[in-house]
Homo-oligomer: A and B are copies of this chain.
Amino acid sequence: MNGERGPRERMVFSAAQLIRRDGVAATGVRDVVSHADAPRGSLQHYFPGGKEQLVIEAVEWGGRYAANRIDRFLAGISRPTPARLFAAMVRQWTDEFRTIGYGQGCPVAAATVDGGSTDATRAAAAAAFAAWRAPIVRALTDMGVPARRAPSAAMLMLSTLEGAILIARAEQNTRALTTATRELGPLLDSFVPPRP
């Protein structure tokens, strides 16, 4: 995968992966350069704003990645409902945790919690959550959720998913995630009014 990307793109990707694992404060720019197999001096060259710029771009990458996944999930569901979309979003995490372990969480969450974050990083995290929410709101509206309720449903989906990711990592099992899918699904489908 790295072979197809330039060093700048690889560094943003590597920063996101290291932040997912270690948080912002514990992620050093040298670790990012090394993980990305980028030439020395790449940080100064590509990221004149230093670590903060790199962290912000990693958080933005996380928001774009999550938003793109929504469209991928929808394409894989034959008759999409709010519960089925949420189940697909959760399944991405249960699959990852079960196959490669609980070492890595959400980079946007890490950038929010972590002391290495500045106001600009925090703002990037808010923008990433908004970017992630937008295709969910569109999808819910397409499924028949009234436009005035879709933003609340999307917000609830992201809150529950983010918290369940966190608890699953602490507990090193997927119970919080499977519970979220099972218990929240019927509520999410109830956002679609019955057809007359």
Residues of A within 8 A of B (CB): 21-27, 105, 108-110, 112-116, 122, 125-126, 128-129, 152-153, 155-156, 158-167, 169-172, 175-176, 179-180, 182-184, 186-187
- Give me 20 other A-B pairs in contact (C-beta within 8 A), A105-B112, A159-B163, A163-B164 excluded: A21-B115, A23-B23, A23-B24, A26-B115, A105-B113, A112-B166, A113-B114, A126-B170, A126-B171, A128-B170, A129-B167, A129-B170, A152-B183, A155-B167, A155-B175, A156-B160, A158-B163, A159-B160, A160-B163, A163-B166
Query: Measured between alpha carbons, how far is A26 from B116 in the docked complex, in Å?
Result: 7
5 A-B pairs whose Cβ atoms sit less than 8 Å apart in the complex: A21-B115, A113-B166, A122-B172, A163-B164, A183-B187
Copies in the complex: 2
A155-B179 CB under 8 A given contacts A25-B25, A116-B23: yes
A122 interface neighbour in B21, B109, B170, Cβ under 8 Å: B170
A115-B169 CB under 8 A given contacts A179-B152, A180-B159: no
Q: Which residue of B lies closest to A18 (CB)?
A: B115
Residues of B within 8 A of A165 (CB): 163
Residues of B within 8 A of A126 (CB): 170-172
Instruction: Check B167 against A179 for contact (C-beta < 8 Å).
Output: no
Query: Measured between alpha carbons, how far is A186 from B191 in the docked complex, in Å?
Result: 12
A116-B25 CB under 8 A given contacts A152-B179, A170-B126: yes
Nearest-Cβ distance from residue A33 to partner chain B, whole angstroms: 17
Nearest-Cβ distance from residue A15 to partner chain B, whole angstroms: 13
Enumerate the 9 nearest inter-chain pairs by beta-carbon distance, A residue then B residue, closest first. Answer: A22-B115, A26-B115, A163-B163, A162-B163, A159-B163, A25-B25, A125-B170, A159-B164, A23-B115
